[in-house]
C-alpha cells in the first residue's frame, strides 16, 4: 500500500510538473518579432524601410508585391482597405504562432532598433495590452469621431493605422473583423471604428502608444522630435515633449519630407563617429574594373535657358569631363541670342567627338519646360543608360564628377542624385533642405552644416536643380515631371513630381564637384558687346581666370623682381590679351571719344590741362568695377615696389582709355599725371596694330616701348616723372590709364 501510494504520488507530481511547464510555455512572452508591410510596387521609401529593417536584424515580410493597387490614391483621398485584405490573407499561416507581429506602412517608415529593444518596450510599457497602435494628434479621416475617443492621461489621443503591433493570434483576429472591407475602403477608419467600439477594444485589449515609447507619427509632431547620438555614435530620435526615444518612425500625411530629413540619420544611416554609413555601400560597380567600351552611355543634356555669363567656360567644363566621348550623347538647348555663336562654334569644333549630338541652338520657339521633356525623350531614344542634366550656371570643375555620380547611383541604388554645387563664399546652393508650407524653400536644421561640409554624405532632400543625374529607369518613370505643375518653374515641377511618385532626390557633398555662378544681374549688361567684363563682383574667380594676365600672380611671389626699364618705372603683366581686346571693342562700341581739346564737360570745372582722345570708365559703366580691380590687383604691386606707402582703398576720378591715331591725335605733350602714382596698360600690339608709340620719361631721358599687350607701367605721378607719349605713326594705339590717389 505504501509503495502504491508512493508511486501514485510520484506520478501526480510528475504530471503536475509537466502541466506547469506546458502552461508556462503557453503563457511565456514570445521572443519572435515578425515585421510585415504591404507594398504593391517598389519605391525608394520601401527600399529605405527594407534597409533599415535589415540593418537592425529584422527580416521584413513584404506582402502584395506585383498585385494591382485598388486602394485609391491615399495622398489625396481615403483608401487603403486593400492592405487589410492582403494582410488577412498573408498572415493566416502565422495566426497560431507564438510571436509578435508588427505592421508598418511600406513607403514612409524607418525602423531604428533591433527586435530585442522593440519587444522589451512592448512587454514592459504595454504589459496589459495585446495590440498597440501608434497615436497622433489628429482625428482622421472622420473628425466627427473626436468626442467618441476615450480620454488619455497624457499624450496623443487618436489612433494611426500606419504602425501597430501585437500577438499574432490577436492581430489576425482583428484583421478577420475586416473581412467585408473593400479594397478602396479606408483602413484608418476601419481600425478607428474597432478601437472606438468599447467591447471590441476590451476584447482585443487594444492600447495606444500615446507618448511614443515605440511608435512616432510625425504629422503635427515634427517640432517635438530631434536627433541625438548614443555613446556609440548611433543616431537616435528623441521626443522632447515626452522624453521618450521612439524607434519606429512614420512620416504620415504631409510629414514625409521631414521623415526624409530624419532618415538621413536614423535607420543606421549616419553616425557622429563614423559619418555617413550608407555611403560605404559595397562597390558592385567600379569604372576601373571595366573597359571604356563597357562604360554606361550618358545623355549629357546642357541648358542655356536664361541670361548666364561665362557660357564659354561652362562648355569647356563639359568637354573636360573625364568620360569617353563616344559613350556620351550630347544635347544642348539655348534660347539666348548672346550665346548663339559660341554654342555653334563649340558644336562645330567638338561635336564629332561625341557619339551623337542634338543641338537646339537659338530655339526661341521652344520653351524651357518643353525642351527639358524633349531632351529626356531624346535621351531614351538614343538608348542612354543615364541622363545628366546640367544648366549653364553649374560649372563642374571636377573632371571625375560624372564617374563619381554614376558609381554612387549604381552602388547605392539611387535613381536621382545631384552633386552639391554652390556659389563661392555664399550659402546659396543647388538644393533645398526643407520645404515651406507653400512648397518653396525653407532652411533645414542641417543645411548650413551640409553646405559648410561639417556634415558629409548623400542627403535625401526635397529639391535639387542645376545639375542632376537620372538612371535609365527614372528617365522613363519621370518623363512627365517637367509638365506636372505649370504654375511653378520646371525644376520645381520636376522635383514635386519625383516626390509625389515615390522617388527620393539625393544631393552628394562627399566630393568637391564645382560651383554655381551668379547670374541674377547679368541681363542688365546683355546689351554690351562683352558683358562678362562687368562680372568681377558677381563671379570674381571666373573673371580673374579670363581677364587677369596668367603671369600676374608670380609678380607678388617673394623674391620676384619686377622689370624696371626706367628709374621707379615698373613694368609687369596685369591684364589678359582677351581683356585688352574686349576693352577696345567695348570703347569703340560706345564710340563717344572726347575731342582732344581743353574744354571737357565730363570734368569738374570743364577744363582738361593735358587733353587726349579718350573715353572714361564711368561713361561705359565700368568705373566701380575698375576701381575695385585696381585696389585688389594693382595696389599690392604698388606696396611691393614703393614700400612704406599704403592707401586703401585706392581712389581715382581719372580712369580712361586713350586712343592715338596719326590722323587724330598721334602723341601727347610732356606732362605730370595728377596722381600719387599711375598705371598705363598697353591694350594692343606694336607692329601688328600700330607703329611708333612708347613713353619717354624726360627727367631720366629714358624711353619705354610699352607695347607688351596687357602689361602695365606703374610709376609715380606728380613731381618726379614728367613724361610724354611718343607719336603713333601708323594704325591705332590704345592705352588704359588710371591716375591713382590724386
Distance in angstroms (rounded) separating the CA atoms of residues 342 and 418? 27
Question: Nearest Cα to 462, choosing from 428, 497, 486, 490?
Answer: 497
Let me know if 283 is exposed, middle or buried by CB neighbors in 10 A (0-12, 13-18, 19+).
Answer: exposed
User: What phi and psi values does residue 259 have, to the nearest 5 degrees?
Assistant: -60, -40
Q: What is the pLDDT of residue 26?
A: 42
Handedness of CA 132, 137, 140, 144 (dihedral sign): positive
Q: Scanning the structure block, which residue is given the C-alpha cell 515633449?
A: 241
Question: Nearest Cα to 461, choosing from 438, 473, 444, 477?
Answer: 444
Handedness of CA 532, 534, 539, 544 (dihedral sign): positive
User: Is-contact 695 725, C-beta < 8 A?
Assistant: yes
Q: What is the pLDDT of residue 24?
A: 36
Question: Nearest Cα to 255, choosing from 69, 45, 14?
Answer: 45
User: Is-contact 697 569, C-beta < 8 A?
Assistant: yes
Region for residue 66 given its phi and psi (left: phi exceeds 0; alpha: psi -120 to 50; beta: otherwise): left
Coarse DSSP helix, strand, coil percentages of the chain, rounded to the nearest 5 percent: 35, 25, 40
User: What phi and psi values does residue 197 have, to the nearest 5 degrees?
Assistant: -80, 105
User: Is-contact 208 156, C-beta < 8 A?
Assistant: yes
- Give Cβ neighbours of residue 308 (< 8 Å, ≥ 6 apart): 314, 336, 339, 391, 392, 393, 517, 519, 522
Q: What is the pLDDT of residue 283?
A: 85
C-alpha 538 chain-centroid distance: 20
User: Is-contact 384 299, C-beta < 8 A?
Assistant: yes
Distance in angstroms (rounded) separating the CA atoms of residues 646 and 636? 9
Instruction: Identify each DSSP E strand in 637-676 by its residue range.
Output: 654-660, 668-671
Q: Scanning the structure block, which residue is given the C-alpha cell 586713350?
A: 658
Region for residue 369 given its phi and psi (left: phi exceeds 0; alpha: psi -120 to 50; beta: otherwise): alpha
Q: Scanning the structure block, which residue is given the C-alpha cell 506520478?
A: 11
Residues of the chain with pLDDT under 50: 1-26
User: Is-contact 131 204, C-beta < 8 A?
Assistant: yes
Question: Nearest Cα to 137, choosing from 61, 66, 217?
Answer: 217
User: What phi and psi values does residue 194 have, to the nearest 5 degrees?
Assistant: -60, -45
Kindly report the number of other CB atoms within 10 A of residue 11's CB atom.
Answer: 10
- In order of 320, 520, 619, the CA distances from 526 in angstroms are 27, 12, 17
C-alpha 308 chain-centroid distance: 19
Q: What is the pLDDT of residue 168?
A: 98
Secondary structure class of 206 (helix, strand, coil): strand
Distance in angstroms (rounded) separating the CA atoms of residues 434 and 449? 14
Q: Scanning the structure block, which residue is given the C-alpha cell 560649372?
A: 395
Question: Nearest Cα to 299, choosing from 195, 237, 376, 205?
Answer: 376
Q: What is the pLDDT of residue 75?
A: 64
What pTM was estimated for this model as a whole? 0.92
Distance in angstroms (rounded) separating the CA atoms of residues 612 and 566? 24
What are the start-end ranges of the H helices in 501-654? 540-547, 552-555, 577-590, 623-629, 635-641
Amino acid at each position: 500500500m505504501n509503495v502504491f501510494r508512493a508511486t501514485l504520488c510520484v506520478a501526480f507530481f510528475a504530471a503536475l510538473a509537466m502541466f506547469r511547464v506546458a502552461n508556462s510555455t503557453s503563457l511565456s512572452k514570445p521572443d519572435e518579432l515578425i515585421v510585415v508591410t504591404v507594398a504593391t510596387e517598389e519605391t525608394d521609401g520601401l527600399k529605405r524601410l527594407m534597409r533599415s529593417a535589415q540593418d537592425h536584424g529584422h527580416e521584413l515580410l513584404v506582402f502584395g508585391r506585383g498585385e494591382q493597387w485598388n486602394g485609391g490614391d491615399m495622398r489625396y483621398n481615403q483608401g487603403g482597405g486593400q492592405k487589410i485584405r492582403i494582410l488577412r490573407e498573408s498572415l493566416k499561416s502565422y495566426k497560431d504562432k507564438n510571436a509578435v507581429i508588427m505592421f508598418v506602412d511600406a513607403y514612409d517608415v524607418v525602423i531604428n532598433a533591433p527586435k530585442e529593444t522593440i519587444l522589451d518596450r512592448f512587454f514592459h510599457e504595454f504589459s496589459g495590452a495585446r495590440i498597440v497602435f501608434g497615436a497622433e494628434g489628429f482625428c482622421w479621416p472622420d473628425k466627427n469621431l473626436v468626442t467618441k475617443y476615450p480620454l488619455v492621461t497624457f499624450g496623443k489621443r487618436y489612433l494611426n493605422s500606419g504602425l501597430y503591433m501585437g500577438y499574432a493570434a490577436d492581430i489576425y483576429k482583428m484583421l478577420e473583423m475586416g473581412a467585408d472591407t473593400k479594397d478602396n475602403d479606408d483602413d484608418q477608419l476601419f481600425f478607428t471604428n474597432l478601437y472606438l467600439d468599447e467591447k471590441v477594444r476590451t476584447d482585443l485589449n487594444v492600447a495606444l502608444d500615446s507618448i511614443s515609447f515605440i511608435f512616432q507619427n510625425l504629422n503635427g509632431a515634427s517640432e517635438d522630435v530631434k536627433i541625438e547620438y548614443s555613446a556609440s555614435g548611433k543616431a537616435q530620435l528623441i521626443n522632447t515633449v515626452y522624453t521618450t526615444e521612439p524607434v519606429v518612425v512614420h512620416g504620415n500625411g504631409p510629414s514625409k519630407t521631414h521623415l526624409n530629413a530624419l532618415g538621413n540619420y536614423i535607420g543606421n544611416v549616419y553616425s557622429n563617429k563614423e559619418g555617413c554609413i550608407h555611403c560605404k555601400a559595397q562597390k558592385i560597380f567600379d569604372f576601373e574594373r571595366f573597359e571604356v567600351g563597357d562604360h554606361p552611355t550618358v545623355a549629357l543634356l546642357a541648358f542655356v535657358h536664361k541670361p548666364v555669363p561665362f557660357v564659354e567656360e561652362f562648355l569647356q567644363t563639359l568637354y573636360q569631363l573625364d568620360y569617353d566621348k563616344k559613350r556620351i550623347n550630347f544635347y544642348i538647348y539655348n534660347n539666348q541670342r548672346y550665346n548663339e555663336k559660341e554654342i555653334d562654334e563649340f558644336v562645330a569644333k567638338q561635336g564629332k567627338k561625341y557619339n551623337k549630338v542634338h543641338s537646339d541652338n537659338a530655339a526661341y520657339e521652344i520653351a524651357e519646360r518643353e525642351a527639358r521633356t524633349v531632351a529626356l525623350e531624346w535621351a531614351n531614344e538614343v538608348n542612354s543608360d543615364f541622363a545628366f542634366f546640367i544648366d549653364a550656371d553649374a560649372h563642374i570643375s571636377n573632371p571625375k564628377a560624372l564617374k563619381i555620380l554614376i558609381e554612387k547611383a549604381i552602388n547605392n541604388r539611387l535613381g536621382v542624385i545631384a552633386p552639391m554645387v554652390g556659389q563661392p563664399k555664399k550659402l546659396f546652393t543647388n538644393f533645398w533642405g526643407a520645404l515651406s508650407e507653400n512648397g518653396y524653400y525653407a532652411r533645414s536644421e542641417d543645411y548650413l552644416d551640409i553646405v559648410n561640409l561639417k556634415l558629409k554624405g548623400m542627403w535625401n532632400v526635397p529639391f535639387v536643380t542645376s545639375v542632376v543625374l537620372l538612371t535609365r529607369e527614372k528617365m522613363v518613370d519621370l518623363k512627365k515631371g517637367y509638365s506636372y505643375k505649370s504654375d511653378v518653374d520646371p525644376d520645381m515641377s520636376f522635383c514635386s513630381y519625383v516626390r509625389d511618385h515615390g522617388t527620393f532626390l539625393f544631393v552628394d557633398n562627399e566630393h568637391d564637384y564645382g560651383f554655381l555662378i551668379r547670374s541674377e544681374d547679368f541681363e542688365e549688361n546683355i546689351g554690351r558687346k562683352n558683358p562678362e567684363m562687368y562680372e568681377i563682383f558677381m563671379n570674381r574667380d571666373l573673371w580673374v581666370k579670363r581677364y587677369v594676365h596668367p603671369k600676374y600672380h608670380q609678380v607678388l611671389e617673394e623674391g620676384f623682381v619686377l622689370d624696371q626699364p626706367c628709374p621707379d618705372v615698373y613694368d609687369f603683366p596685369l591684364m589678359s590679351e582677351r581683356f585688352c581686346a574686349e576693352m577696345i571693342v567695348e570703347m569703340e562700341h560706345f564710340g563717344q571719344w572726347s575731342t582732344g581739346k581743353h574744354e571737357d564737360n565730363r570734368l569738374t570745372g570743364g577744363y582738361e590741362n593735358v587733353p587726349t582722345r579718350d573715353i572714361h570708365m564711368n561713361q561705359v559703366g565700368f568705373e566701380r568695377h575698375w576701381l575695385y580691380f585696381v585696389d585688389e590687383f594693382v595696389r599690392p604691386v604698388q606696396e611691393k615696389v614703393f614700400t612704406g606707402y599704403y592707401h586703401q582703398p585706392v581712389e581715382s576720378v581719372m580712369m580712361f582709355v586713350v586712343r592715338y591715331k596719326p590722323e587724330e591725335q598721334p602723341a601727347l605733350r610732356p606732362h605730370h599725371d595728377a596722381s600719387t602714382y599711375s598705371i598705363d596698360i598697353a591694350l594692343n600690339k606694336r607692329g601688328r596694330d600700330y607703329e611708333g608709340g612708347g613713353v619717354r620719361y624726360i627727367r631720366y631721358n629714358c624711353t619705354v616701348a610699352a607695347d607688351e599687350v596687357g602689361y602695365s607701367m606703374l610709376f609715380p605721378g606728380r613731381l618726379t616723372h614728367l613724361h610724354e607719349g611718343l607719336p603713333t605713326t601708323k594704325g591705332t594705339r590704345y592705352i588704359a590709364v588710371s591716375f591713382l590717389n590724386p
